[in-house]
Amino acid sequence: MRTANKTKRLMPRKLVVRTNPHSIAAEQYRTIRTNINFSIPDLTSKIILFTSASKEEGKSTTAANMAIVFAETGKRVLLIDADMRRPTLFRTFQLVNNTGLSNLLLGKGNLKHSVKASGIPNLDLLMSGQIPPNPAELLESDILDELMGEMRELYDYVLVDSPPILSVTDAKILANRCDGTVLVVNTGKSEKVSVEKARDSLATAKAFILGVVLNNYPLTSENYYYHNYND
């Protein structure tokens, strides 16, 4: 195990869908995939935002695993790290955050050259890019709309990982432009009040809330149904 360092470091994201495709958690992600598909409008390509009320509820882990399960279905998937304040995607996939979303929003480079291969079929990644001083203003720019248009042409699913909605305004701006928003809630940690505030915040942004993913949900006997199902 990694020892605590001077600087606060996040644990590498657990891509359980990749490491244990038959685990209970992996099946749960697939269930969420199905439910998202049922609740999102029938578009040719879908841009889905992942956010949470506050930090460390599991947005990035959920987004990454969801990206993998969407890619499993043979659809072309792009996973974007839109958290330009505390980027994590490059760590999850052991890549380097040298160029990405912030560079594109500043008008440098193009989408096709900025995305990185994830090593997983059908899944491309777009890092956050260099950390800009003004992430919110960048997201407000018209370039984002153009980018989204390009993404729709290239991918069936675009999954966007964002900062917490109650901390900064970035997620609100994104939620307004995405087709649907998934709210990640850390079971037993997130306050009900915060979740309701996040919901109201998304409503203000005229976001389409797909629903809630309850992360770290204690395993109950019902879940064991999945066990031995494949064996």
Shortest distance in whole angstroms from residue 150 CB to another protein: 23
Query: Quick check: helix, strand or coil at residue 106?
Result: coil
CA angle 145, 29, 190 (to 5 degrees): 80
Query: Residue 200 has which token pair?
Result: 């109201």
Site string for another protein, 189-208 (x = CB under 8 A): xxxxx-xx--x---x-----
Closer residue to another protein, CB minimum distance, 39 or 73: 39
The contacts of residue 40 (CB under 8 Å, 6+ apart) are: 46, 48, 179, 180, 208, 210
| Helix/strand/coil (H/E/C) assignment for every residue in 69-88 | HHHHCCCCEEEEECCCCCCC
Binding of residue 29 to another protein (CB under 8 A): yes
Closer residue to another protein, CB minimum distance, 134 or 187: 187
Nearest 10 degrees: CA dihedral of 174, 215, 166, 14? Answer: -70
- Backbone Cα Rg of the chain: 17
Q: Which of 142, 149, 219, 221 binds another protein (CB under 8 A)?
A: 219
Binding of residue 172 to another protein (CB under 8 A): no
Q: Are strands 46-52 and 180-186 parallel, antiparallel or unpaired?
A: parallel
Q: Looking at this protein, which amino acid is placed at residue 19?
A: T
Binding of residue 211 to another protein (CB under 8 A): yes
Q: Cβ(58)–Cβ(188) under 8 Å?
A: no
Binding of residue 56 to another protein (CB under 8 A): no
Number of residues near another protein (by CB under 8 A): 63
Binding of residue 59 to another protein (CB under 8 A): no
Binding of residue 113 to another protein (CB under 8 A): no
Q: Which of 14, 55, 75, 76 binds another protein (CB under 8 A)?
A: 14
Binding of residue 183 to another protein (CB under 8 A): yes
β-pair partners for 48: 159, 180
Shortest distance in whole angstroms from residue 103 CB to another protein: 14
> Which residues, 78 to 107, sit near another protein by CB under 8 A?
90-91, 93-98
The contacts of residue 76 (CB under 8 Å, 6+ apart) are: 122, 124, 154, 155, 156, 157
Would you tell me which residues interact with another protein (CB under 8 A)?
2, 7, 9, 12, 14-16, 18-25, 28-29, 31-32, 35-36, 39, 58, 62, 65, 90-91, 93-98, 116-117, 119, 182-183, 185-193, 195-196, 199, 203, 209-219, 223
